[in-house]
Amino acid sequence: KDFLIRNEIIPIELEEDFLTVAASHPDNENLLSGIGRYVNTDVEFQVALAQDIIDAVEQYYDRSLTDEVEVAKLERDVDEERHEREEFEREGEFYEEEE
């Protein structure tokens, strides 16, 4: 996220071995080598407004974090239900043994 905002870039499409990146300054000489540290594809740049790029990056990462929190809640709920079911089953076995 920091790299994207600092360089005012965002990937917009990946097709096979070809990445399209929106950049506010696609003529930046260090941009291609910086991206090359993260991906091993050919890169094509398209010009975009810096604020639009930053907004898109923030929106994507905020949504991703929200999704991660929701997934964590669901996993916790599933674990709690599994634990309750296992406990219920153990209690059922206990009562069967007493009879």
Q: How confident is the model at residue 8 (pLDDT cuts 50, 70, 90)?
A: very high
- pLDDT: is 74 or 14 the higher one? 14
Strand partners, 11: 21
Tokens encoding 43:
């890169």
Max CA-CA distance within the chain? 81
pLDDT tens string 44-77: 999 999 999 999 988 887 776 566 666 667 777 7
